[in-house]
Amino acid sequence: MTLSRPDVAEGLVSELEAFEGLVRSLSPSEMSRSSRCAGWSAGDVAAHLIGSMTDVVEGRFDGLGTPEVTEREVLERRGTSPDELADELARARKASVDLLAVFDDDAWNGPAPGGYTGTLGDGVEALWFDAYLHADDIRDAIGRQSVGGPGVRASLSHLSTVLTQQGWGDATLTLDGEEPFDIGAGGEPIEGDALEFIKAATGRGDPKAFGFDERLNIYR
């Protein structure tokens, strides 16, 4: 289930603005902190997200999200200062506003570019999810608290879509304080803390806390 076009368009832009502020606030020592993304520092996480957004707005979709492209995004920005990274994201964010404005409902519900599985709307929602999740990766690395907000809702929507595409099974996310999202045809409720579920479903937490095995991880 993808959220509505206005919700996703506004949510992505707001999330990128918050990510920009987070990156701009990082000290050099915080940039070098190890993150829960294996082999990456907090700065590498920022570089990947910002590199992905630059690739998207410049139309470089081939291989987006693959290990090879992800590594390129990070290596191209090694040694870049927080302000320089934030400035790049500000440019990409402004370009994304222009791109989002030209999509109508037919385009939104049509196929995503670059071979991404799902609709264009699914792809844009995935970018919002990435920005929210990687901001949390950075906060975790530097000892800051997680934040909630609309990014949690977008992440649950995205995860329900991906788990459905992967044929994970039928269930309904009824997580604390969040609207329900069906996985597959819907079914038994999955209850608990929403952020902990997001972490469990992305290899950052323990799926056993929700009664599942490693198949819950969308990156398995």
The string of pLDDT tens digits covering residues 151-198 is 999 999 999 999 999 999 999 999 999 999 999 999 999 999 999 999
Q: How far apart are CA 214 and CA 35, in angstroms?
A: 21
CA separation, residue 105 to residues 126, 178, 210 (Å): 18, 26, 36
pTM of the predicted model, to two decimals?
Answer: 0.96
Report residue 116's pLDDT band, with 50, 70 and 90 as the boundaries.
confident
Q: What is the CA radius of gyration of the chain?
A: 17
Q: Give the per-residue pLDDT at 220.
A: 87
151-216 in CATH: which number? Answer: 3.30.1050
Domain boundaries, the chain: 5-144, 151-216
Tell me the pLDDT of the chain averaged across its residues. 96
CATH 1.20.120.450 fits 5-144, yes or no: yes
CB 128 within 8 A of CB 154: yes
Q: Give the per-residue pLDDT at 152.
A: 98
Which of 125, 179, 126 lies closest to 5 in space, CA to CA?
125
